[in-house]
Chain A
Amino acid sequence: GEDVEQSLFLSVREGDSSVINCTYTDSSSTYLYWYKQEPGAGLQLLTYIFSNMDMKQDQRLTVLLNKKDKHLSLRIADTQTGDSAIYFCAEKNSGGYQKVTFGTGTKLQVIP
């Protein structure tokens, strides 16, 4: 079945760039997503990328997709303390239901 893997924890200093990585196994993925979850809250969609794209940039966020290696990354430029949260990678397949599979989440800690 589908599998999405992320490292559990990342710590960066305020002002530095953060890079959160994700790998997935489903070669039929059509869309890949990054969600942000603040403590005790639901998930908020940050950005998504089509599987036929290599890169997408949105203000401080840059998403890179290596479809050959099934590797997705989220770069946050000039990381701020408000960026501290859990970041989930997710992929949607091209099957009949188009199920979304989430990764384990990466907890980003920003040190002032």
Chain B
Amino acid sequence: DGGITQSPKYLFRKEGQNVTLSCEQNLNHDAMYWYRQDPGQGLRLIYYSQIVNDFQKGDIAEGYSVSREKKESFPLTVTSAQKNPTAFYLCASSMSTGRDTEAFFGQGTRLTVV
């Protein structure tokens, strides 16, 4: 079955540590996105990638980094520079950012700093 998979579902991090969230899709989509969800604030765009080996900052990129070495993978690293990393992180993909196509979302990763 085609889809988009995030792992792990729950992640705990100690303060000062970097942590990487995985996002994989087998939909052959060009575009991939990372969003952060906080209560009462909707989804905020962290990074997006339109094509392999290329990505751009979203609205809240500080303290995060990404890579896009393969079409199907778009991992997000939450660095120690992110001051308030506890949140629900959602990855999405779509056929292209230049056309009206549906964005498919993963099931999310809940990150908690302990």
Interchain CB contact under 8 A, B106 and A98: no
Tell me which of A13-21, A66-74, A102-110 binds B.
Answer: A102-110
Interchain CB contact under 8 A, A97 and B105: no
CB distance from A10 to the nearest CB of B (A): 15
Tell me which of A42-50, A57-65, A77-85 binds B.
Answer: A42-50
How many inter-chain contacts with C-beta < 8 Å in the A-B complex?
Answer: 48
Interchain CB contact under 8 A, B100 and A97: no
Asked if A111 is at the interface of the complex by the 8 Å CB criterion, the answer is no
A98: contacting residue among B45, B98, B108, B110, CB under 8 A: B98
Chain A residues near B6 (CB-CB < 8 A): 42
Count chain A CB atoms within 10 A of each CB in B50, B103, B107 and give the residue with the most. B103
Tell me which of B35-43, B60-68, B75-83 binds A.
Answer: B35-43
Which B residues are closer than 8 A to A by beta carbons? 6, 35, 40-45, 48, 50, 56, 90, 92, 97-98, 100, 102-103, 105-108, 110
> Could you give 30 example pairs across A and B, Cβ below 8 Å?
A4-B42, A8-B40, A31-B100, A35-B105, A40-B108, A40-B110, A42-B6, A42-B90, A42-B92, A42-B108, A43-B43, A43-B90, A43-B92, A43-B103, A44-B105, A45-B102, A45-B103, A48-B102, A88-B42, A92-B100, A97-B50, A97-B97, A102-B35, A102-B42, A102-B43, A102-B44, A104-B40, A104-B41, A104-B42, A105-B42
